[in-house]
Structure 1
Amino acid sequence: MNTTSPKKIVVVGGGSSGWMTAISLNKVFNASARNYDITVIESPDIGIIGVGEATVHSVRFFFAALGLDEDELLRETNASLKTGILFKNWRKPVNGHMHQYFHPFEHQPLGREQDISSSWFINGRERQERYDEGVSLSTALMKQGHGPKGPNSPSYQGVVPYGYHIDAVLLARYLRKKATEAGVRHIEATISDVEVAGDTILSVQAGDDRYEADVFIDCTGFRGLLIEKLKQDNWISFTKALPCNKAVAIQRELVPGEAPKPYTTSTAASNGWIWQIDLVNRQGTGYVYDGNRLSSEEAEAELRAFLGPESQVLKCTHLNMKIGCRKEFWVGNCIAIGLSGGFIEPLESTGLHLINLAAGLLASHHPRRDTTQAVRDSFNRLMSGFYQDLKQFIVLHYCLTDRDDSDFWRAAPATVKECPWLEKQLEIWRHKICEYQDLAGSFSTIFADENYRYVLYGMQNYPDLRLSMGPGSHDKISAQLAQMAVHAVNVTLPHGDYLRRLNEEQT
């Protein structure tokens, strides 16, 4: 039995970051005894950005660990499933055909004598198919419009790994409901003052009320309302590597008669790229662009032209993005999580993933008012490593382009200069397959060698292996994979059918 008074954690800011953090810490710290009183102070005057509507597949494990019912989660958030990202137009067209490739979440099967990637290249398969077509099951599902689940798939399981397309506003609302049911206190108030002594936050003021805590978690978005009070000059900008610093987002009705796609689409545009994310009830779209080369009016016009005049627009929002991360995420008794800690453009849907990482790390580092600097340094080192690794993975998508139709794309290859490790590896990967050992020891928590290969070879950055194998030596591997793909399609449902069944069960 815990006889000491519970420590107090105050999370300032709601949204996905605030409620994911609060519900996660409550699950870990208060499972068998009330070790922490956790309060979320959420302003009714400050809206949720709410356009980050796609996830990576590891978020499934976060929701599963919380004990959330997956079907309920999907229904409550108008969610669909995501098996990967279809990239379009990131290189020049060839023979009149737009460049495209698919980046799935899936692991790649191994060959007996040789890994499947080496075998694929040595047998010249790049002359007849895309890399993802030759090594993954997800591409076959994507082409057939199938999701990862069959009619009896267990919760959080599918024939291939998957993430979600999810309404961020509804997700925050759903997590708030679950958190408060589990004992998290919710206060609707706007913070008017932050009381600080040295590197310690003593309290936050909201109206006539003053809230004290042992630990404060800053989930106030790009403002960094709390962390900015404790440490100045605490930001590392990534804009030289990732110059896209603005976005315009449009929510629109789905095309009549078209089922939600079980994948995200990312189409390169004149000065950035356009996302398309299908929920059950609508499509979320947006243009992430370099605001130094394009005005907000020009960006919106380009996005609307891309979507077409027949689009039924429900909502349009313009966003400024602060690209980079904190030098120190944990200062004194304050920890910045979510946008207040950092942001990398959403090309690979890593926003919720980074919140998940931060909340998990915070739980293992046991935050207290008297936390030692060594513990804070450990948290800061790991979080910084996560952001730096993700930065270079996103740069990988840009620096391999051969597009030269705008200043933006002509400048893109030089962004690799901001990532010395990546620049060195690209030279090495000209002569060998990208493999696990190349990334071993890095901070990467979601994008491993397999993910690098999907992008490297999707962007046609092929190694010169200068080896040969006997005629048909890859045929057996290819035939086995084709057979597995047929089976995967046969045991899964068309994505639209799965979603209809899921939502009809509620009624």
Structure 2
Amino acid sequence: MHTADSMRKMVIVGGGSAGWMTALYLNRLYNHSHKNIDITVIESPDIGIIGVGEATVHSVRYFFRGMGLDEHELLRETNATLKTGIMFKNWMKPNPDGSQHAYFHPFEAQTSPAVLDISSLWMLSGRAGQERYDEGVCLSAGLAAQNLAPKSAQSRQYEGLVPYGYHIDAVLLARYLRRKAIEAGVTHIEATIDAVETEGEMIKAVTANDRRFDGDIFVDCTGFRSLLIGKLKDNNWQCFKEALPCTKAVALQREMPDGEMPRSYTTATALSNGWAWQIDLINRQGTGYVYDGDRLSADEAEAELRTFLGPDSAVLKCTHINMRVGCLKEFWVGNCIAIGLSGGFIEPLESTGLHLINLSAGLLATHLDRGEITQDVRDSFNRLMNGFYQDLKQFIVLHYCLTDRDDTDFWRAAPDTVHHTPWLKKQLGIWKHKVCEYHDLAGSFSTVFSDENYRYILYGMKHYPALSLQIDLGESEEIFARVRALSDRLAHTALPHMAYLKQINM
């Protein structure tokens, strides 16, 4: 067994966001004052990265800040914009007035100074008939509606008026992180893996372009191919397709439509057999259709996406992707750890790709630092990683299973996906009688989505509880008036999104 003290060589196979985020993180941890571990990234020049995961959750800010990266440089180098949340459209039947169903999922939470939580107050005040839940209880919805940045002229790097994430060019991000990692002392080898040399459940070395690279720890960042960990263990995959049947995507990059400015939020619009994303960068828009490949062919999906975008779309690039939806049973086998797509994938509805990489790298660091690497250490890592993916699977199912759409077989079948997440199914019954609260999720594996996030989806999808608690209507109105007033003040303080971006890119 290797110990943390005897660990001298770490080989990361595969670049992309997974490889370079992991390299940057572990290098900063182990080699910040002097070199303790040799970290090598072997990256194939022949294998491109998927590069369509172009939005993040807000917690990725803390990774970039922790790596000592200049936020303005990061934004410039990756054609990035800011993200206050996700606007969901068309996930239910049209509203009674004929308008399209929509709701907003921000990163923020508001508290109530009253005896009851703000969600219960919103329900009991009868506000559902006059506004969306997000419009009543958060500030980010107002910023998004006016396309304002979550920043004022005085905002410092990585700090905002409300929590925010990024829209970011994934290919440029990988290049930027690669440059930063190399500058920090990570060894970069451009080569394609020819062979993986194993002994039992241990990797001894990898061969690339006739060169042999041995190591103490190997990190598999080879994407859906799982090139390393796949050599160590059979029957190590658990498929989530029954719960999440969208296993294919077509991604289009197009010029920004004439007259449109980059939006400070992601849009996720439900189509016939899945949903389309729209993510605005400084120089273009990234779009795509995540769909059920058992109900729609690749050509049909591309045609539907192009129709949705309109005939005047100047398409720069089109890519079809087969997605392996699920995760490994064991992410850490022997001396090999899978991070990123090699470990698992859940459709990008809530932009969690970079978050899961960040989470994996941090978890690996704490587990590698435990002295002798015993099976108990691996089991702990595997238990936690499985919990993270199962928790995220359930949160994504929540978006689908509450729909009342019945226009296609896909949407008619969507409510049944909840049967593959028993805990969620039980909770939905409970949440018809009470609000979703912290205690409902306490003790779960949730790493980024809390009870506040669940409420934005539940009440955005009109899954309201039947409450009969007594409230002071005058006090309640004062609380929501304060939220409105604060939202108005924030709108006067916030920079227009484009003005902020121009300021950064001058």
Give the shorter-chain TM-score range: over 0.9
- Match in the other structure for 1:39: 40
Q: What residue in structure 2 maps to residue 277 of structure 1?
A: 279
Q: Is structure 2 residue 366 aligned with structure 1 residue 364?
A: yes
Alignment of 1:169-188 (within 5 A): 169-188=171-190
RMSD over aligned Cα atoms: 1.2
Whole-Å separation in 2 of the counterparts to 1:113 and 1:231: 54
Asked whether the equivalents of residues 333 and 368 of structure 1 are also in contact (C-alpha less than 8 Å), the reply is no
User: What is the deviation of 1:369?
Assistant: 11
Q: What corresponds to 2:55 in structure 1?
A: 54
**Distance of 2:121 and 2:300 partners within structure 1:** 46
TM-aligned CA distance change 1:336 to 1:369, over 3 Å: farther
Indicate the residue corresponding to 1:66 in structure 2: 67
1:298 corresponds to 2:300: yes
TM-score (norm 1): 0.97
Provide the TM-score with structure 2 as the length reference: 0.98
Whether contact under 8 Å (2:367, 2:377) holds in the other structure is yes
With over 3 angstroms needed to count, the CA separation of the structure-2 counterparts of 1:175 and 1:440, relative to structure 1, is: same
Aligned to 1:426: 428
Residues of 2 paired with 1:470 and 1:481: CA distance? 17
The 5-angstrom pairing of residues 236-315 of structure 1 reads 236-315=238-317
Deviation at 1:257, TM superposition (A): 2.8
Q: State the shift of 1:144 in Å.
A: 1.1
Q: Distance in 1 between matches of 2:252 and 2:473?
A: 51
> Closer, same or farther in 2 for the Cα pair 1:485/1:207, shift >3 Å?
same
Deviation, structure 1 residue 151: 1.3
Aligned to 2:445: 443
2:246/2:347 contact within 8 Å kept:
yes
CA deviations 1:351-373 (Å, max 9, x no partner) are 00000000000111117996110
In structure 2, what is the Cα distance between the partners aligned to 1:434 and 1:373?
37
Q: Distance in 2 between matches of 1:420 and 1:118?
A: 25
**Unaligned runs of at least 5 residues, structure 2:** none
Question: How much does 1:472 deviate?
Answer: 3.2
Quote the Cα distance in structure 1 between the aligned partners of 2:420 and 2:196.
Answer: 36
CA distance in structure 1 between the partners assigned to 2:11 and 2:484 by the alignment? 53
The whole-number CA distance in structure 2 between the counterparts of 1:33 and 1:112 is: 53
Q: For 1:276, what is the secondary structure of its paired residue?
A: strand
Three-state SS of the structure 2 residue aligned to 1:87 is: strand
In structure 2, C-alpha distance between the alignment counterparts of 1:262 and 1:186, rounded to whole Å: 35
Shift of 1:466: 1.9
Aligned-pair distance for 1:6?
A: 6.1
Moved more, 347-356 or 103-112: 103-112
**Which range moves more in the overlay, 464-473 or 83-92?**
464-473
Counterpart of 1:416, as a letter, is V
Matched AA of 1:80: T
Inter-CA distance 127–468: structure 2 relative to 1 (3 Å threshold):
farther
The amino acid across from 1:330 in the alignment is: W
Aligned: 1:81 with 2:82: yes
Percent identical pairs in the alignment equals 68
CA shift, 1:207, in A, is: 1.6
Task: Indicate the SS of the match to 2:219.
Answer: strand
Question: What's the offset of the Cα at 1:433?
Answer: 0.6
Amino acid at match of 1:69: D
Structure 1 unaligned runs (5+)?
Answer: none
1:254 and 1:400 map into 2 onto residues whose CA distance is 33
In the alignment, which residue of structure 1 is the partner of 2:105?
A: 103
Taking the aligned partners of 2:325 and 2:50, their CA distance within structure 1 comes to 15
Contact 2:7 2:216 in 1 (8 A): no
In 2, the alpha carbon distance for the partners of 1:118 and 1:368 equals 45
Structure 1 partner of 2:323: 321
**In structure 1, what residue type is equivalent to 2:16?**
G
Deviations 1:277-325, CA, capped at 9 Å, x for gaps: 0000000000000000000000000000000000100000000000000
TM-fit CA distance, 1:468: 3.9
Matched AA of 1:60: R
Q: Is the 8 A contact 2:23 2:181 kept in 1?
A: yes
Q: Which amino acid aligns with 1:329?
A: F
Check conservation: 1:202, 1:212, Cα contact below 8 A. yes
Q: Structure 1 CA distance, aligned partners of 2:332 and 2:473?
A: 58
On the 8 A contact 2:289/2:301 being kept in 1, the answer is yes
Distance across 1 between alignment mates of 2:441 and 2:417? 20
Establish whether residue 469 from structure 1 lines up as the match of residue 480 from structure 2: no
Aligned residue for 1:67, secondary structure, equals coil
